[in-house]
Structure 1
Amino acid sequence: MNDFRHYEEAVALYHGTLKNKSTPIYCWDFHNNFLDEVKNFFVDFNKLTLMASQNKWAENKWDLKNSLKEEVVIVTDATLKIVFASHGIKAMNGYNPEEVIGNSPRMFQGEATNAITSNEIRKAVLQLEPFEKTLINYKKNGETYVCLIKGFPVFNTKGELSHYIAFEKAA
């Protein structure tokens, strides 16, 4: 027992002579942000897979895991009302996902949005065709940003239109 006490004293003496540098408190913010991103990724991925399962989406070739990491994913119902927006939307345009649910994606458009491109998107949607377009959209604070949108109609296993899904990123 005596040897153990000597060992503890030696360790305490050693650590007492070290010149430790403390870690600035803001480093914890980075870790917390990382944990939030990981949590939001899994929340978004689980919501999307549940939505696909419940609505019996037909097989597709989307890589949702990578899309959620790199893009904002927005899903509308067949009437073009937003039913899902990934957490990345906050960084892209300032809206929280909950703020856009129930709205039309046109809420991001405004005076500077090209009407011709907007009509081309509308035409593709009505014809149930995929599209890839670049638009000027508006952030929550009114600033504009260029947005690359890849949109697809989503069909269920019976071949009926179920939803539309868009993969967006600020260009």
Structure 2
Amino acid sequence: MKHYEKAISKFHRSLELNPNPLLSWDFSLTNFGNYCKYQNDIDILDAIAKNNGWAFQPQFKQELQEKEQIIVVTDATLKIVHATKNIFGMNGYTLNEIIGKRPKMFQGKGTDKNTIAAISKAVKSQLPFEARVLNYRKNGSEYWCDIKAQPLFDQNGKMVNFIAYEREVA
């Protein structure tokens, strides 16, 4: 709230104040709540991008705020370095439970081996891929997950991360 209050104070100092209906305040706070919901994840993703010198900057805000997708970032060896906090709603895992592990942890006996082989081939070839995968929640229940992923390269052309945009589908 500290940043919000500073921004509002600065805004009000620059304008003549006119009374606003209560409805406009409700709308403003709703949008602010949506902004705050994902801002920490966006800041972390921006820091990962900067620290790894990504040559391409993905549109985190659009994927999170507009599409409400889960974003998972791995290192070059496919160990998870970050997942947005909305992953908990999809599979019941917290960030602390998945950091350092591979996305393979979400797969199980019903996960199609051919799909996994195709994903593995794309990753080894450093190519983007899209797939629908049967995954498993922390409690063992199944869910279908659409994944759209791509490698991320640094300024020298070295693959440094893989990013995946995920959402549960019925």
Q: Which residue is 2:43 aligned to?
A: 46
Q: What amino acid is aligned across from residue 103 of structure 2 in structure 1? A: P
Instruction: Select the structure of larger CA radius of gyration.
Output: 1
Aligned counterparts of 2:140 and 2:105: Cα–Cα separation in 1: 11
Aligned counterparts of 2:115 and 2:166: Cα–Cα separation in 1: 15
CA RMSD of aligned residues (A): 1.5
Question: Does 1:96 pair with 2:91?
Answer: no
Question: Does 1:115 pair with 2:113?
Answer: yes
Q: Which residue is 1:67 aligned to?
A: 63
CA contact (8 A) 1:40 1:87 kept: no
Aligned counterparts of 2:56 and 2:127: Cα–Cα separation in 1: 16
Q: Which residue is 1:157 aligned to?
A: 155
Aligned counterparts of 1:39 and 1:77: Cα–Cα separation in 2: 26
Identity of aligned residues (%): 42
> Gaps spanning 5+ residues in structure 2: where?
1-28
State the 4+ residue runs in structure 1 displaced beyond 6 angstroms.
none
Q: Which residue is 2:54 aligned to?
A: 57
**TM-score normalised per structure 2:** 0.77
Aligned counterparts of 2:129 and 2:59: Cα–Cα separation in 1: 17
Aligned counterparts of 1:91 and 1:124: Cα–Cα separation in 2: 28
**TM-score normalised per structure 1:** 0.76
> Gaps spanning 5+ residues in structure 1: where?
1-30
Aligned counterparts of 1:157 and 1:149: Cα–Cα separation in 2: 26
Question: Which of 114, 126, 129 is the equivalent residue of 2:127?
Answer: 129
Aligned-partner SS, 2:139: coil
How many pairs were matched up?
137
